[in-house]
């Protein structure tokens, strides 16, 4: 089936949207900042933007697939006009981007960025739903506000919530860009309040887009480095024995190549057969200088670990070289 897309908005907020079922391998669809989770054997992707054809970056949507080949829009899950506090700062314009989802106690939580940083500080909100497709109900106020801090500028963007499978504690990771500063908080049991901020060491080469996953007792803090619209945008990572460090920097694992530029703002997913995948955005363009222009694409590729637990460099793929999910009658992991 052919793809049907919404319009593209130029700049950091832009994403084109699936408005119906679509069939695609890499790239999966136009978009940015994809947060992916496995739900009952199906991969769901929550990107910047949402269905409906509105190009004011004013809503979020979700997309799902059982085989990573055929994708279905799950509809609109949260709109800007449903966030009652969004205009309290008096700024003339507000944009939504970089959603992150988490689940606990039968509820689903959608964390999101409200920006830009200027003329007023960026903020992070959270909304709650009874199912991953929503509808989500905003919690009533910003969870984190950026701006000038005692130790410098902090941009409240790119939230990621992680529930530690060993301790049961939930953490919120956020920050980046202008201040290139990562901050971490322990979330309250309600997942919509902050219990305390956790002091951490800043990971080397951190810019934005932090993501945490755990494998065999090792915690992997991965993040984007570089300028979002330049070929140096890339994914680096560090490891630790806890979700709050101390970090051991491990280097870059996803970088531009001859035909794909600026890969980043990613998430990791473990599939139903135990394989690991990385979901990220990129520009499908020949090597060259930035700034990059046009449409960012969401892509999915394999993650492989060495025997010592380090992540091997990610190889970006196209078309039928991309991974699929097994048990669908198609070529899988």
Catalytic residue numbers read 33, 208
| Phi and psi angles of residue 82, each rounded to the nearest 5 degrees, phi first | -95, 0
Burial of 10 (0-12, 13-18, 19+ CB in 10 A): exposed
The bridge status of strand 160-163 relative to strand 152-154 is unpaired
- The sign one gets for the Cα dihedral 37, 38, 43, 44 is negative
Q: What is the 3-state secondary structure (H, E, C) of the chain?
A: CCCCECCCCCCCCCCCCECCCEECCECCEECCCCEEEEECCEEEEECCCCCCCCCCCCEEEEEEECCCCEEEEEEEEEEHHHCCCCCCCCCCCCEEEEEEEEEECCEEEEEEEEECCCCCCCEEEEEEECCCCCCCEECCCCCEECEEECCEEECCCCCEEEECCCCCCEEEEECCCCCCCCEEEEECCCCCCEEEEECCCCCCCCCEEEEEEEECCEEEEEEEECCCCCCCCEEEEEEECCCCCCCEEEEEEECCCCCCEEEEEEEEEECCCCCEEEEEEEECCCCCCCCCCCCCEEEEEEECECCCCCECCCCCCCECCCCCCCCCCCCCC
How far out from the chain centre does Cα 310 lie? 22
Residues belonging to the chain:
333
């Amino acid at each position: 089936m052919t793809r049907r897309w919404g319009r593209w908005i130029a700049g950091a907020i832009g994403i084109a949207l699936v408005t119906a079922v679509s069939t695609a391998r890499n790239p999966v669809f136009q978009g940015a900042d994809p947060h992916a989770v496995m739900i009952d054997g199906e991969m769901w992707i929550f990107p910047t933007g949402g269905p409906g054809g509105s190009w004011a970056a004013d809503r979020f949507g979700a997309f799902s697939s059982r085989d990573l080949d055929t994708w279905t829009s799950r509809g609109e899950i949260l709109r800007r006009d449903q966030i009652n506090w969004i205009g309290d700062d008096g700024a003339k314009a507000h944009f939504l981007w970089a959603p992150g989802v988490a689940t606990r106690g039968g509820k689903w939580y959608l964390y999101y960025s409200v920006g830009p940083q200027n003329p007023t500080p960026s903020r992070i909100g959270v909304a709650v739903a009874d199912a991953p497709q929503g509808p989500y109900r905003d919690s009533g106020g910003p969870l984190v506000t950026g701006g000038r801090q005692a130790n410098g500028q902090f941009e409240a963007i790119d939230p990621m919530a992680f529930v530690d499978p060993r301790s049961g504690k939930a953490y919120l990771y956020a920050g980046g860009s202008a201040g290139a500063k990562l901050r971490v908080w322990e979330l309250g049991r309600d997942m919509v309040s902050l219990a305390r901020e956790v002091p951490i060491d800043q990971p080397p080469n951190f810019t934005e887009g932090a993501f945490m996953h755990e494998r065999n007792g090792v915690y992997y803090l991965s993040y984007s480095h570089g300028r979002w619209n330049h070929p140096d945008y890339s994914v680096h990572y560090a490891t630790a024995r806890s979700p709050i460090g101390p970090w051991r920097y491990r280097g870059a694992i996803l970088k531009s190549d001859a035909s794909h530029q600026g890969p980043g703002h990613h998430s990791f997913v473990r599939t139903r057969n135990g394989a690991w995948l990385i979901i990220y955005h990129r520009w499908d363009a020949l090597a060259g200088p930035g700034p990059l222009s046009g449409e960012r694409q969401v892509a999915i590729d394999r993650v492989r670990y060495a025997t010592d637990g380090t992540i091997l460099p990610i190889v970006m793929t196209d078309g039928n070289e991309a991974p699929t999910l097994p048990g669908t009658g198609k070529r899988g992991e």
